[in-house]
Amino acid sequence: MSVTVNDLMRLPSLRQAKVLAGHRGLGKIVSSISVLESTDPDVLVADRFPKGEFFGSEIVITGFLNIVNDIELQCENIRQLSAGGEVGLILYYVGVFMPEVDHRLIELADELDFVLICMPTGDPTLRYSEVINDVMGCIFRDQEKKDSIVLDILEQISALPKHRQSVDTAMRILSDRIAASVILCDSAFHILNLAAWPRSQKTIIEDGILNCSVFPESRQSCPCTFQAGHNLQRLTIRTDSGQKYELLILRADTALKDNLLDEIEEATCICINIWGKKHDDVAVHELVRAILKDEPMKMHRLAEIFRVDIDSLHEMWILDNGRDTTNDDLKAQMPALRDCFARYTGSFIMDFYGGRLIVFMSPPRSQQETEQLEQEILTLTDRCDPKITLARCNQLQTTADVRKAYLCYKEMLPQVRKIYPNRKNFSYGQLEFAQSCHRTILDGEAGLNRCLLPLRPLKEETEDMDLVQTLATYLLDGDSSVTKTAQLLYLHKNTVKYRIKRISDILGFRPDRMPEVVELYKAAAVQRILS
C-alpha cells in the first residue's frame, strides 16, 4: 500500500481543496477514509479507539458541525486523532456553518505533522460521498497493483505512534487487507488476537472458535460450522524462537490461494517476531534479515519503525566461527561487543544470522580507529572462541551491495582462510581477491598454468619449496616486511633477507615492486588454495 496524502490531493474531488497545515505529513500512507461524527473528545477515545483498537492511517472527514465555534474542542479532537495514528482531517462547510479555520487549529496541526485540508469555502453543495468514493477507489486500485501484504503492514505501522505498533494492530491491518477475519491462536487454539471482519462479528467468532472441535489441517480449508457461507483456513506459524502459533482465516465465499497464504504467513511471522515480545533484539533480527535478503522496501519500513538511520550504515562486519550454529559463548559477549562498537561508530545494529554475528554500522572516523576497533573485537572474541574470524565489508551503498558482499563472504570464507591462514580479520577486498583466485582454478588447466607461471623460476631453481614458501609468507602474511616474515617462519631476519635477495635475483625484480608483484601475489595465493 503506497497511497499517500499527496496522491489524494490529485484526485478530482480534492483538486480544489487546500492544505492549510501539516505539510510534513503529506507523505504519510493512507489506508482508508472515515467520517468523524462525534466531536466529544472523551467519546472519541472511548468509541473510535476502544482499548487501543487500530483505526490509524485513515484520513478523516468532518464539518465540526456541533462545535463550529469551540476552538479548544476542535484542537482537542485533532490531538486525539493524531494520537490514534490518523494522518489528517478534511474540513467541510467552512464559511457555511464553520465561520473560519482558526489559527490555533493550523498551528497545532503543523506541530503534530497532522495534515489539515480545507474543502472549497462557502459551498453548501459539497458532499462527503464524492471524496469517499474517490479515496477508496484510489486505495483499491493500489491494492490490486501490489501483492505484498508484508509491505502493506510495515508501511502502515511505520506511520503509527510507537504505542500502537503491536500484533493486534498488525492483525487488524491484515484483516482489512484481505477482507477476512483473522484469529491468531496458540498451539491449543486459545485466542491470542482476533480481528473480525466485519467488526460486528467479533463475539460470534469468539464463541465459535471456543466451541469448535475440528479445525482444518495447515494450509487446508473447510466449511465454517459457526458462520454459514464462510470458509475456515488454517496456517501454522513457526517463529524464529521456535514458538508455534495457529492462524485461522475466516472468509466468505472462496478460500485464499497458496501464493496469498505465503504472504500472510510471512507477514504474521514477522509481526510476532517483532511485536510478540517487548524485545529489541527480535526486532533487529527482522531488519538484519531484510538487509541480507536484499529487500530494500521492507528494510526501509522496518528502519522507520525502529528509528534506525539505515542510510548511514555502509559497513558490514561478520564474526564467524566457521559453523552454522550460533556460538553461545559469543552470545554472552554481546553486551561487551555492543559497548565496543558504540565507542567507535555513530550508529550500528547487530544480530545473529545463519550462525554468524552480523553488524551493520556507520564507518569509524578514521582508519586508525577502524584498526583499533578490529583489534578490540578480536581480543574479546578470542576469550570465547579462538577460531572466530572477523570480515569487514565497507563502502556498501545499497541492499544489493550488501547481498553481494554477504554471498561472496559465505562462498569464499574457506578459500580466504587458505590464502591467509595466519590472519583473523579479512577485508572485502581480500574476499573478492579469493573469489578471483577461485575462478581462475575453475577456469581450467590452461588458465591455471598461466596464473602459476611467475612461480616457475623459483620452483626450477630449488628442489624444495623454501623460496616459494618464503615468498608466499612475505607477500600474503608478512605485508612485505622482513621482520614480520621472519617471526612467522621462526627464522632469523638475515635468513629471510638472504632468501628475498635470491628471489629477486631469480625473478629479476624485487618481490615488493609494482606492478610486477600483482601476478606474483595471485600466483602465491592460488598455490596456497591448491596445496
Q: What is the pLDDT of residues 41-95, one digit of tens each?
A: 555 544 555 544 545 678 999 999 889 899 999 999 999 888 878 899 999 999 9
CA distances from 17 to 20, 384, 441 (A): 9, 64, 68
User: pLDDT (tens digit, 9 = 90+) per residue, 330-383?
Assistant: 888 888 898 999 999 888 888 888 888 999 999 998 999 999 999 999 998 888
Euclidean distance between CA atoms 34 and 85, whole angstroms: 13
Neighbours of 50 (CB within 10 A): 10
Which residues of the chain are modeled with pLDDT < 70? Answer: 1, 38-56, 144-147, 159, 163, 241, 277-283, 306, 324-327, 461-465
Distance CA 215, CA 207 (A): 15
Cα dist from 207 to 69, 225, 334, 363, 495, whole Å: 46, 12, 46, 56, 87
Q: Report the predicted TM-score, pTM, of the whole model to 2 decimal places.
A: 0.57
Listed in order, strand segments (DSSP E) in 131-223 are: 181-185, 191-195, 221-223
Q: Do domains 149-278 and 443-530 have the same CATH topology?
A: no
Q: Which CATH number fits domain 281-430: 3.40.120.10, 3.90.170.10, 3.30.70.600, 3.60.20.10?
A: 3.30.70.600
Domain boundaries, the chain: 5-145, 149-278, 281-430, 443-530
Pick one of 2.30.40.10, 1.10.357.10, 3.40.50.720, 1.10.10.2840 as the CATH number of 443-530.
1.10.10.2840
Fold adopted by 5-145 = 3.40.1390
Residue 433, Ramachandran bin (φ over 0: left; ψ between -120 and 50: alpha; else beta): alpha
Strand order in the sheet with 32-35: 18-21, 115-118, 88-91, 58-62, 32-35
pLDDT at 409: 93
Tell me the CATH architecture of domain 149-278.
2-Layer Sandwich (3.30)
Q: Other CB atoms closer than 10 Å to residue 335's CB: what's the count?
A: 8
